[in-house]
Every structure is written in C-alpha cells, then in structure tokens.
Amino acid sequence: MKPINVGLLGIGTVGGGTHAVLTRNQEEITRRAGRPIQIVAVADRNVERARELVGADVTVTDDAFSLVKDPNIDIIVELIGGYTTALDLVMMAIENGKHVVTANKALLAVHGNEIFAAAQRKGVMVAFEAAVAGGIPIIKALREGLSANRIQWLAGIINGTTNFILSEMRDKGLSFETVLKEAQRLGYAEADPTFDIEGIDAAHKATLMASIAFGIPVQFDKAHVEGISSLDAIDIKYAEQLGYRIKLLGIAKRQVNGVELRVHPTLIPTKRLIANVEGAMNAVLVQGDAVGATLYYGKGAGAEPTASAVIADLVDVTRLATADPQNRVPHLAFQPDQLSDLPILPLEEVETACYLRLRALDKPGVLADVTRILADLNISIEAMIQNEPAEGEDHADVVLLTHVAREKDINAAIHKIEALQSIHGKVTRIRMEALNG
C-alpha cells in the first residue's frame, strides 16, 4: 500500500527522537498503521545538522513553508513551537488539505479554536497527543477511553521542571533559587524558565485537557495561573508535618454554574498516589462518574517519550486518513456543534480549603482575634501549628488549615488578618485539594 509521506518541521530534541523511533520501530509501526509512515522532508534552520540526522534519502531545507505547500506530503508534523510562525505554517498546511500533528501546547491553548475550525472546514485532522504530558496518552484517554463518562474533575502534575524543583526543595530543604540553578545546570529548566516556574506551560496543558474533558471551547485567557517562584521552603516543611505535599497542579472541575480552570501550588494529602510523583515525572488524575478515579503516570518530556506520542498520532491519522471526516474522533472529543457554553468561573467563586501561615506576636488574645475574623466569614479551622518564637524574637509562625471556603471570603479574611497590629508581614496562602474521588 502507498506510504504516508510526512513533512517534519523542526528536528530538535523531539524531532530527532521522532525520526529515531520511527526508523527503529518501522516494521512494528507499519503493522499497526496498515501502511508505511515515512518522513520524506525536514525543515530546520540548521540544515547541516538535519542532514546528519536523517541521511541522504530525506529532503532537507530551511524553508518550512515549502513543506506545507508540497503536494506529495500528506501529514505535517509541527515541532517548531511558539505562536507566530507555527500558526502560519499550521493554518497553511490545513488550507492545503494536509493533516497536522503537533506538540505545540502554547499554540493550541491560544489559537486552538481557530485551528480546529479551519481543520473541520477542510476535512483534515489536527492531532496533539504530544502537547500534554509527553509520552502519557492522556489526550486519547480523555477523548476516547473515558467517552462513556461524565468527567467531574481532573488534576495533573503536568510540568516536570516545577515538579523536580519542588521534590528537591522537600528532600533537601533548599531554597527555590538554589534548586532552580541546579535544575538549569542539569537541563531540566531553560535559561529563561518563566513559562515553567510561573505556571504558564501547565496552564496551556490544563486548558486543553479541560476543553476535552468538558466539551468546551479552548479558553486559556480565562485560566487562573500561579507559579512556584514565591514558594518558601518552610511551607513545604510545615506541609509535611501536617501530612501533605505541595505540588504545582493544573486543575479543571465541572460545577453546576461553570468550570474551574486553575494552576497553582497545592497541598495534597501524602497518602494520595499523585502526591508521591517525584522528580521530573508527570501524572494526571481523572475522576469520571462511571469509572471513578483513574491515574496516568509517566515521563512528561524528553526526546523519545514525546516522540512516542507524536508517532501514535501519526498512526491514528494514517488509519483514519481515508475515513469520512464526520466519522473521525472530534478534536475536542465532542462534536463541534455540541460544544457547551459553560463559562470558566472567576477564581473568587471557587471553593477550596486553604493553608494559611502568619507571623503572629507572642501574646494572649492574638489567635482569638484571628479565629474571630475567620469565624465572621464562615471559615472554620481544621488543624493548626503554633510555634514558639525563636530566641530573641517576639513573633512566631502560626499555620492554619481551613475547611472548604469561598475564595473571596478567604481573600477578605487575609486582608483583615494582615491589618492586625499583632501580625507581621503578609499571610501566606496555599490552596488544598483532597483528590479523594
């Protein structure tokens, strides 16, 4: 049978891994797909390096637009990244009737609605398993494996850089800045780590998962995003004492009046499996009404883990290339005319339990003032740690765990507590999730 011809845009870490795995496992992949899948052309700025990687049988160019216009290419694999040139290339590939496989979570989180609509009009597929959680097949699980379920919520450790940093801070008691430098030295963090440590990368991925889980348009601009750069090692220590671990979670929850979509550091009970995901590994926990809780765990980045997802998409597209477009799996799991208009809820309306740490003057009545403020706002306390002041100091840390309360009430309480003369500095607040199904 005629092979499927692939044009590869970008042959860096993931592109090189894709070529290597496709070449190494060619026979197995062909048996699965029903026909050979072959990379026939590569576009990369570093033409010489690209030629060394792919050999003489593959066309190599620095003109990516020539590939998306080439009538002999069936599928474009976009591994360039970014929002600008990648968008132009993807849209042109779709316009020219080519299927697209991409690992570009940022592009889809920001421009996904536009891209999917164009693909629907042209009758082509846009596959993006590699855009979320590397080699973990979470997109396929949400889109197909759990299609019988009304998905209630999902929570994921979906950024390996931040998980590595948090694991090291907990294990070694080091500061964020110290561990970040080590992560950069080891290659886990970029020279400019902003997208990772400020939660943006995780929010891109959470946005895509939320859209598939709940059948809503992609709405990255509505996500609440917090990173870990202001996290203090002392809070990780106190969390451990209370039976919790702190992870940067991407969370999406279905509520009656809308969808929660948020990324932030989160206390999770240590006994939960996801709390014990360490280092650069990823994990996503999904709660469905029929199946209950399911956990997906594995490598969230790297050349061959991500290539595994890229090639899985190539196999899917190859199998379905000749199918009636109306009978393919929809991009966002639900039929395009059946997407819901459930809004993304503002954070002020979200309800969570919270960890609060404050520096309080060591004198009678201070805690009574704090608990009175909380009680007036219907916030109850679940647990507390009260330390003695260090020698020569008159303030000490007080840590409170609250029961579930509305975000805006917690905000009001923090504002009033910080205004007390007996409280020094800002109150540290970290949200909590039970994740108990």
Residues belonging to the active site: 205
The DSSP output letter for 290 is: T
- On whether the CB atoms of residues 154 and 288 are closer than 8 A, the answer is no
The set of residues, in sequence order, having a beta carbon less than 8 Å from that of 47 and lying 6+ positions away, is 60, 61, 62
Report the C-alpha gap between 115 and 184 in whole angstroms: 34
206 backbone dihedrals φ, ψ, rounded to 5°: -65, -35
Q: Which helix (H) or strand (E) holds 407?
A: helix 407-418
Residue 219 buriedness (CB in 10 A; 0-12 / 13-18 / 19+): middle
Max CA separation in the chain (angstroms): 83
Report the C-alpha gap between 414 and 408 in whole angstroms: 10
DSSP lists the bridge partners of residue 224 as 262
Q: Which helix (H) or strand (E) holds 251?
A: strand 244-255
Distance (Å) of CA 382 to CA 91, 359, 388: 52, 19, 20
The set of residues, in sequence order, having a beta carbon less than 8 Å from that of 24 and lying 6+ positions away, is none
361 backbone dihedrals φ, ψ, rounded to 5°: -65, 135
Q: At what angle do helices 176-186 and 160-172 cross, to 10 degrees?
A: 130
Rg (C-alpha) for the chain, rounded Å, is 24
Give all strands (DSSP E) within 37-175, no chain letters.
Answer: 37-43, 59-61, 75-78, 99-102, 126-127, 151-157
- On whether the CB atoms of residues 205 and 95 are closer than 8 A, the answer is no
Query: Which residue matches tokens 């002020």?
Result: 348
The DSSP output letter for 124 is: -
Bridge-based pairing state of the strands 258-269 and 244-255? antiparallel
Report the C-alpha gap between 247 and 228 in whole angstroms: 9
